[in-house]
Amino acid sequence: DNPDGIEGMNAIADLDRILPRSRRKTMNDAYDYLEWRFFQRALNEREKHTIKLYLTKKPMTAIISDDELRNFLHVMMSTPHFQVC
């Protein structure tokens, strides 16, 4: 039984250290916290809007779950801004 929800894989990152549960209440809180951690700067409004628009197309639970956070991180790390860092 895998508590992380991913078949055949064990968690390799402590998601509570990446995004504390206190910052998972809204997508905006989570985004603001992770934007600085991953990009080390604020993106312009068009770039933020694009990322947030993609993320809001997927239904989210009241508090961002570990699986939703993994998706969130994947989207942010797939951007050219993260790739260049």
More confident residue, 42 or 10: 42
The pLDDT > 70 percentage for the chain reads 81
What residues contact residue 64 under an 8 Å CB cut-off, 6+ apart?
19, 24, 25, 27, 30, 72
Asked if pLDDT for residue 8 goes beyond 70, the answer is no
Q: How far is CA 84 from CA 6, 16, 34, 46, 81, in A?
A: 28, 25, 16, 18, 5
pLDDT score at 68: 84
Report the range of poorest mean pLDDT among 6-15, 30-39, 59-68: 6-15
CB 81 within 8 A of CB 39: yes
Residue 64 has pLDDT above 50, yes or no: yes
